[in-house]
């Protein structure tokens, strides 16, 4: 999806907030590791529970590595 299409959808639905582009065909956990934005350092960083909650947004509740 292009930014122009996304902004059209946002305008159509009168949305506000932050437009975020996510990779397709890969999980955020793998994407963050490959991009050097996250490095699993603790054993729990490799658990299914942690990976499922991973947002990559720096939110401790989202499992971004702040735990």
What is the spatial distance between Cα 12 and Cα 27, in angstroms, rounded to a whole number? 28
Q: Write out pLDDT tens, residues 20-66.
A: 877 788 888 998 899 898 999 999 999 999 999 887 665 433 444 43
pLDDT at 57: 63
Measured in degrees and rounded to the nearest 5, phi and psi for residue 5 equal -65, -45
- DSSP for 9-28 reads HHHHTT--S------SSS-H
Q: What is the pTM of this model?
A: 0.58
pLDDT at 28: 87
Cβ atoms 19, 11 nearer than 8 A:
no
What is the token pair recorded at 19?
């437009």
Domain positions in the chain: 3-62
Cβ atoms 50, 44 nearer than 8 A:
yes
């Amino acid at each position: 999806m292009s930014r122009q299409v996304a902004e059209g959808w946002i305008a159509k639905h009168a949305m506000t907030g932050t437009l975020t582009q996510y990779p397709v065909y890969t999980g955020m956990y793998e994407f963050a590791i490959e991009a050097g934005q996250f490095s699993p350092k603790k054993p729990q960083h490799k658990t299914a529970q942690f990976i499922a909650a991973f947002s990559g947004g720096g939110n401790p509740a989202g499992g971004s590595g702040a735990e």
